[in-house]
Amino acid sequence: MTILHIDASINGENSASRAISRSIVDRIRTAQWGDQVIYRDLAREPLPHLTLEAFADSSVLDEFLAADTIVIGAPMYNFSVPSQLKAWIDRIAVAGKTFRYTETGPEGLAGDKRVIVAVSRGGFYEADNAFEHVKAYLKPMFNFLGIEPEFVHADGVAVGPEQREAGLANGLAEVERLAA
């Protein structure tokens, strides 16, 4: 089994999404001994914005297609995913490879993959909050590719030290439940 581990936070070792995505990889790795882990740090090595020419380079798509499980650290920046992560998604959503249009509508072609997303958000967001565009974007995006993503959450990270600790603890507890 191949695990693709993606991080996007600009906060280095202070990052909640990095701590949780690492914990997810550690836990599922233990459960599936012998896994190969490919790591891509989109903050340290950003992908350029998509261009037509960039479609000719399928290396990011090939890395995604070769993975069985994809673990993504997804911080909320300005109510959405970091543009670094969006640039990655722009390379994996490719017609004929990860989705196709049929007479009856779009069809996802990547349904054999497991996607687990560690979401970290500065505040607290109910599911129907109009400002929430992290899960509200990633869920339908991966659904479009045929995948039902799983989410773990660290919320209130920017509210204060206590809320940060509580948010992190909640995220790590959700990882334990997910791995169980």
Ligand X SMILES: Cc1cc2nc3c(=O)[nH]c(=O)nc-3n(C[C@H](O)[C@H](O)[C@H](O)COP(=O)(O)O)c2cc1C
Binding site residues, ligand X, CB under 6 A: 9, 11, 15-18, 75-79, 120-123, 157-158
Tell me the closest approach of the beta carbon of residue 156 to ligand X, in angstroms: 8
Tell me the closest approach of the beta carbon of residue 163 to ligand X, in angstroms: 10
Considering the complex, state which of residue 18 and residue 40 has its C-beta at the smaller distance from ligand X.
Answer: 18
Tell me the closest approach of the beta carbon of residue 179 to ligand X, in angstroms: 20
Considering the complex, state which of residue 108 and residue 123 has its C-beta at the smaller distance from ligand X.
Answer: 123
* Cβ-closest position to ligand X: 122
126 touches 113 (CB < 8 A): no
Tell me the closest approach of the beta carbon of residue 55 to ligand X, in angstroms: 28
Considering the complex, state which of residue 122 and residue 149 has its C-beta at the smaller distance from ligand X.
Answer: 122
Considering the complex, state which of residue 84 and residue 120 has its C-beta at the smaller distance from ligand X.
Answer: 120
